[in-house]
Amino acid sequence: MDDASIEPTLKRVAAITTVRNDTMFLEKWVQYYGRQFGLKNLYVFIDGHDQPLPEWLGEINTIVLPHLPLKRARADARRAQVMSHMARGLFKYFDAVIVTDVDEFLIVDPNVSLTLAEYLSQSKAKTTLSGLGLDVGQHLEQESALDLRRPFLDQRQFAHLSSRYTKPVVAFRPVTWGSGMHRVKGRNFHIDPKLFLFHFGMIDYELATGKTADEDRLGSGWKKHLSRREALFKIIAESDPVEGDAYFEEARRRQRLRRPLYALNKPGMIRGNPVVKIPNRFRGII
C-alpha cells in the first residue's frame, strides 16, 4: 500500500470552558465544539451550585464549583489556574486541549477544507497555537438585533482585529495560562496562519449592555472592563472597514512584532483600531 494514501490518525482533543449566568453562548459552544470533537470530549465548569443545568448538556462532562466571588482580576487568575491544572490532568488522556471562554470559537479557515480536529491533527506545533483574534460586534447603523434562530456569522459582518483575543487557546502539552488565557507563562506564542478566534461577547448591543446590569459582575468589579468592551460598538460604527483577506497576514505580522514590553509573550495591539469585513466563507459556521 502506498504510504501517501494512509490518512494521519486524528489527535484526541478535549475542549474546556467555564460559565456562569449564561446559556445562550453555552449552547452555541456545545454545538460547535461537540461537532468538532464529540460531546464526550467537552468539559464545562459551572460556576456556582445556584446555576440550573440545562437538560441538553447530555453527555458533556460538567463540573459544578462553588461560587466564591472575587474581584475580576483575581477571579480571572484563579480561573486560569484551575483550567491549567485541569488541562494538565487531561493530557494523560488527550493529545491536545483547547481552553476558551464560553463566547470564544476557534475556527479553521474554510478554504483549508479540513475540520478543526483534522487541522490540529496535522499541526507540527509543539506547545501552543493561537488563532488571529476577531472581536465581532454589531454595526448599529447597518445591522439588526440578533436573531438567535439564525447563525451568528450570517448576521454580523464586521470585527475589530484585537490582540486581546489572539490567545494561545490550543495546547499540545501541559502549560500554565495567565489570566484570561491571554498568554502562557514562560512560553512564546505562535499565531497560526489558518486559525481564527472569534469573540462574540459584544455581538448584540442589547444583549451585551444587559451585562452591565448583572449584579454578579458589578459586585466583582466588572463595570470598567465591560464599559471598555462596549467601546467596540463605537469603533465599528466609526470605522472604514477593510476586506479581511487583504489585512489578515499584516495583522499577524504586526501582532508578532509589536509586543508590549511588560509581557513579551503576548501579541501587541495594532494602532488605529482596525476593523475588517469578515469574508463570506465564514457564514453559517457559528
**Structure confidence at residue 261 (pLDDT):** 86
Residue 134 backbone phi and psi in degrees, to 5 = -120, 110
Domain ranges of the chain: 3-282
**Structure confidence at residue 4 (pLDDT):** 45
Find the helix or strand (DSSP H, E) in which 27 lies: helix 24-37
The CATH number of the structural domain formed by 3-282 is 3.90.550
Indicate the pTM of the whole model: 0.91
Over the chain (286 residues), the average pLDDT of each successive run of 10 is 54 96 94 97 97 91 94 92 97 98 98 97 96 97 96 98 97 97 95 98 89 54 62 95 98 95 92 96 97
**Of residues 123, 248, 264, 124, the one with CA closest to residue 189:** 264
**Structure confidence at residue 276 (pLDDT):** 98
Render 47-99 in DSSP notation, one character per residue. E-TTSPPPGGGTTSEEEEE------HHHHHHHHHHHHHHHHHHHTTT-SEEEE
**Structure confidence at residue 82 (pLDDT):** 96
